[in-house]
Amino acid sequence: MPVLLVGQFVLLAGAVAIAGSLLARSADRIAEATGLGRLLVGSLLLAGVTSLPELSVDIAAIRSGFVDLAAGDLLGSSLMNLLILAAVDLSVRSGKKMLSREGAAHALSAILCIAVTSLAGLAIVTSDKLATGSFFGISAWSWAILLAYIFGARMIFLNQRIALRISAEAQSCDNVLPPTKAIHKTPFLLPSLVFGIAATVLCFVGPQLAHVAGALAEETGLGGTFVGTTLVAVTTSLPELVASLTAIRIGAIDLAIGNAFGSNAFNIVLFVVLDGFYDGSIFLNVSEVHAVTAFVICLATAIAALGQLYHGERRIPFVEPDAFLMFFVILGGLFLIYSLG
CATH code where residue 312 lies? 1.20.1420.30
- Secondary structure of the chain as H, E, C letters: CHHHHHHHHHHHHHHHHHHHHHHHHHHHHHHHHHCCCHHHHHHHHHHHHHCHHHHHHHHHHHHHCCHHHHHHHHHHHHHHHHHHHHHHHHHCCCCCCCCCHHHHHHHHHHHHHHHHHHHHHHHHHHCCCCCCCEECCEEHHHHHHHHHHHHHHHHHHHHHHHHHHHHHHHHHHCCCCCHHHHHCCCCCHHHHHHHHHHHHHHHHHHHHHHHHHHHHHHHHCCCHHHHHHHHHHHHHCHHHHHHHHHHHHCCCHHHHHHHHHHHHHHHHHHHHHHHHHCCCCHHHCCCCHHHHHHHHHHHHHHHHHHHHHCCCCCCCCCCCHHHHHHHHHHHHHHHHHHHHC
pLDDT value for 117: 94
pTM of the complete model: 0.76
What is the tally of structural domains in the chain? Answer: 1
Q: What is the pLDDT of residues 91-136, one digit of tens each?
A: 765 555 555 555 666 788 889 999 999 999 999 888 777 767 777 7
Q: Lowest-pLDDT range, 63-77, 219-233, 302-316?
A: 219-233
pLDDT value for 180: 46
Q: How confident is the model at residue 261 (pLDDT cuts 50, 70, 90)?
A: confident
pLDDT value for 141: 87
Q: What is the pLDDT of residues 20-36, one digit of tens each?
A: 778 778 887 887 777 66
pLDDT value for 181: 44
Whether residue 124 contacts residue 291, with contact meaning beta carbons closer than 8 Å, is answered with yes
Q: How confident is the model at residue 299 (pLDDT cuts 50, 70, 90)?
A: very high
Q: Who has greater pLDDT, 133 or 273?
A: 273
Q: Lowest-pLDDT range, 27-36, 83-92, 203-212, 261-270?
A: 203-212
Report the range out of 9-13, 71-75, 185-189, 201-205 with the highest average pLDDT: 71-75
pLDDT value for 211: 65
pLDDT value for 320: 65
Q: How confident is the model at residue 279 (pLDDT cuts 50, 70, 90)?
A: confident
Taking residues 162-173, report their average pLDDT: 69
Taking residues 47-76, report their average pLDDT: 78
Domain containing residue 231: 2-340
What is the chain's mean pLDDT, rounded?
Answer: 76
pLDDT value for 203: 75
